[in-house]
Amino acid sequence: MAANRRGGPGGGPTRRSAPERHLRAGWLPGVLGAVLLAVTAPVTAADVPAPAPGAGPWNLTLFHTNDTHAGMFARPADWRDDGRPVGGIVALAHHLAEQRRSAPADLLVDAGDFMTGNPVCNLREDDVPGAAIARLFNALDYDAGLVGNHEFDIGLADLQRLLPRFGHPVLAADIVDDQGRAVFRAEPVVLERGGVRIGIMGVSCSEMTEVVAPSRFPGLRMAPQAPLLRRQAAELDPATDLLIVLTHNGLDKDRELAAALAGAGIDVIVGGHSHTRMRQPELVEGILIVQAGSALTNLGRLDLRVEDDRVAGYDGRLVSLWADSLDASGELDGIAALTYGYEDQVRDQYGRVLGTLATDLRRGRGESALGNWLADVLREAAGADVGVINSGGIRRDLPAGPLTALHIHEVLPFANSLVTVRMSGRELATVADWNAAAQVSGDHGILQVSGLEYLIVAGQDGAPSRAGEVTVGGRPLDPEAAYLVAMPDFVAMMAPVYLGCPNPRFADTGRELSGLAAEAIQRVGTVRAPAGGRIRGAPSR
């Protein structure tokens, strides 16, 4: 049986003495004190004796994060007028230690997308991007993690070099090669905490091929999740008291997955991808679903009472990771030194001021001021008739005031380049129709547009909405004319999703979007919100 890491039933967490403290690669002596306690090594189901019939009750706390997106540093809470600092790995360490005082036995898991956001994820160690993220995660002693879609932003080869740097298993049983073989760790994690035997399975993003460019997902495909998880659960269930699945599907897909897994013996789904702040768990077909928002602004906590091989009671909530009034006892000194060292590196590389923003520019799934400005930047940089950018590629709002290179990187963290596509007016009308329908259905965020304007016309008798009164450069669209359209390479490579047409031939300028945005700011000095009303008749969302 694996060792108990954080105290048994009825006992509080115990601190290891200094000679016993476990130091994984990248840890600092003295990091987190009471937080870094005895370690339970992951084992296989065969290593764990079957639980005694009728055993329990046991109390276990599941702490969870998801979609951290390299949010390793505290930042102002942009939804509050006072800008109270929130988030970051030091705040997580502090609040985790506080929460563990009332958690006799616990585990900590992450549901993927730890990459892409703050440029700390681009810092290289031994020429491996993301190594800083691994060191910071290791300092918190996670028990299991998951591969999300944004891990592929660094490419498959670099991702495969990065994952061994994590001190915990990073799962993704459903990512397979063309022979159906798992590319990452498929084997579940089995461990014991406070008398509870726990099996942790992991499946990634079911829509991976729709959100990751083929060049970053070469020769890979997604295996169906439900049959895979049913097989794993059948093997694990006799040897465990609690079965947990880590997913990166988004809440709606997790609901569907839970329904498909009814009766399989799975107890909890820890989700990600949709960045949903679930203040309370949701129960679907006897399976609890939880998710904790994004960017390390919250820590999820799920308290479970396990008895007779089932969850007999539960209580879940989110813990806000406020970054002020942190522990001053010295317990955080190690992880703080590590974190602030990385923060200084990022500030040195990205802290230069590019210009000033006259008013806030916000993003959105529908037409947005920030989306309009970025589409303008792309169109003007390419000398094109039309510029478009996918809403999902715009990752944060821009606050009024000085604009730094860090702001721009956080808005456009992907290494996407500007490409141009020659389209007929008829093809461009199809793009407008496709996005008008998406705006109404909510299937995905629309393309932000520049040089192109249209009116959304509601569909009749179940038909999808379409675009009417389409203009380019203020003139009615000519179906027979040729137009030059500027867009991110990602949009061109994912044309069936964003353009509603097969992948077009495109010319790559080789210029990164973030660099173009920085140049545009420096050129004008003060950025002002561009004119809106480019997409009219959109339903309120």
Residue 411 in contact with residue 398, Cβ under 8 Å? yes
Q: Are 435 and 487 in contact (CB under 8 A)?
A: no
Tell me what the mean pLDDT of segment 344-361 comes to: 96
Instruction: Give the list of residues 6+ apart from residue 426 with CB closer than 8 angstroms, or none.
Output: 479, 480
State residue 55's pLDDT score.
63
At 311-336, the pLDDT tens digits run: 999 999 999 999 998 877 788 999 99
3-state SS assignment for residue 256: helix
Q: In this predicted structure, what is the pLDDT of residue 166?
A: 98
Domains of the chain with CATH codes: 18-345 (3.60.21.10), 352-536 (3.90.780.10)
Residue 34 confidence (pLDDT) above 50: no
DSSP class of residue 37?
Answer: -
Residue at token pair 């599907």: 249
Q: What is the pLDDT of residue 53?
A: 36
* pTM exceeds cut of 0.95: no
Q: Is 393 left (phi over 0), alpha (psi -120 to 50) or beta?
A: alpha
Q: What region, left, alpha or beta, does residue 229 occupy, with left being phi > 0 and alpha being psi -120 to 50 degrees?
A: alpha
What phi and psi values does residue 444 have, to the nearest 5 degrees?
-160, 165
- Residue among 12, 166, 25 nearest 97 (CA): 12
Residues in contact with 298: Cβ distance below 8 Å, sequence separation at least 6, in sequence order: 277, 292, 318, 319, 320, 321
Whether pLDDT at 254 is above 70:
yes
Return d(Cα 30, Cα 377) in angstroms, integer.
49
Q: Where are the alpha helices (DSSP H) in 310-364?
A: 333-350
List Cα–Cα distances, 83 to 86, 88, 242, 336, 397, in angstroms: 9, 15, 40, 21, 14
Q: Which amino acid is at 286?
A: G
- Structure tokens, 334: 């190690």
d(CA 12, CA 37): 12
> Contact at 8 Å (CB) between 416 and 390?
no
Strands 452-457 and 447-450: unpaired
| Per-residue model confidence as pLDDT tens digits over 165-221 | 999 999 999 999 999 999 999 999 999 999 999 999 999 999 999 889 898 999 999
* Buried/exposed code over 388-406 (b: 16+ C-beta within 10 A; e: otherwise): bbbbebbbbbbbeeebbbb
How confident is residue 443, by pLDDT bands cut at 50, 70 and 90?
A: confident
Please give the DSSP secondary-structure letter assigned to residue 456.
E
pLDDT in tens, 476-489: 999 999 999 999 99
| Total count of residues recorded for the chain | 541
196-217: string of b/e by CB count within 10 Å (b at 16+)?
A: bbbbbbbbbbbbbbebbbeebb
Beta-sheet pairing, 268-270 with 242-246 = parallel
Task: Report the amino acid identity of residue 66.
Answer: N
The rounded Cα 505 to chain-centroid distance in angstroms is 30
Residue-wise pLDDT tens digits, 391-409: 999 999 999 999 999 999 9
- Tens digits of per-residue pLDDT, 407-428? 999 999 988 999 999 999 999 9
The pLDDT mean for the chain works out to 89
